[in-house]
Amino acid sequence: MELSPRTGPGSEGESSGVMPRGKRRVSLPALVVLIAVVAIGGFVVVQALGSATTFYRNADEAVAQRDSLGQKRFRLQGTVVPGTVEQTGNGVSFEIAYNGVPVNIRHVGDPPEMFKENQAVLLEGHFAADGSNTYDSDLMIVKHSEVYEEKKSDRLKEAEQNGQVPVTTARSGS
């Protein structure tokens, strides 16, 4: 068996026009297009996931995590405290509570028709920049479909029990 290196075209500096295996060149335009496609795809994925991952907190959890939440956007759940609903020039202000922990709400926009006192609400927004216990909302949901009720009946029962507002709860300072 012959084990000596071969000689001929392509050896010892001669060019045969054939690239050795594993050393293929990628053209610069193709590389730029590939990088652009990957970057655009990554941007689209990050944007889609960012809007789909709005955090969800009950009022008591949100107040306990107030410092870490800062002004991040998240969803807040609680029950509307009776006697706290006031119409404003651009929406409504009220107070919600969950497990006895109240949060002042400033909602921009018209509330849904089914909005009322002692109603469980889900709000989307963020805590006010002034560091107060005020939540600025621009989305309010007050009713879930029957499909949700069937799939999440345990969660709804928990919310109904823990979201009750004690009769002695009075409006806290704004």
Residue 116, CB-side half-sphere exposure with 13 Å CA sphere: 3
Is the entire prediction scored with pTM above 0.75? no
The whole domain housing 148 covers: 55-162
- Give me the number of domains the chain comprises: 1
Residue 21, in any domain of the structure: no
The CATH code of the domain that includes 129 is 2.40.50.140
Is 2 a member of any domain? no
Q: Tell me how far apart the alpha carbons of residues 59 and 100 are, in angstroms, rounded to a whole number.
A: 9
Residue 72 exposure: Cα atoms within 13 Å on the Cβ side: 16
Residue 86 lies in a domain: yes
Reported residue count of the chain is 174
The pLDDT of residue 10: 52
pLDDT tens-place values along the chain, 174 residues long: 677 777 655 555 555 555 566 667 778 888 899 999 999 988 888 777 655 555 679 999 999 999 888 888 999 999 999 999 999 999 999 999 999 999 999 999 988 888 899 989 999 999 998 888 899 999 998 865 455 445 566 766 777 777 666 655 555 544
The verdict on residue 34 lying in a domain is no
Residue 171 inside a domain? The answer is no
Instruction: Establish if 1 belongs to a structural domain.
Output: no
- Considering only CA atoms, which of 43, 68, 41, 50 is closest in space to residue 127? 68
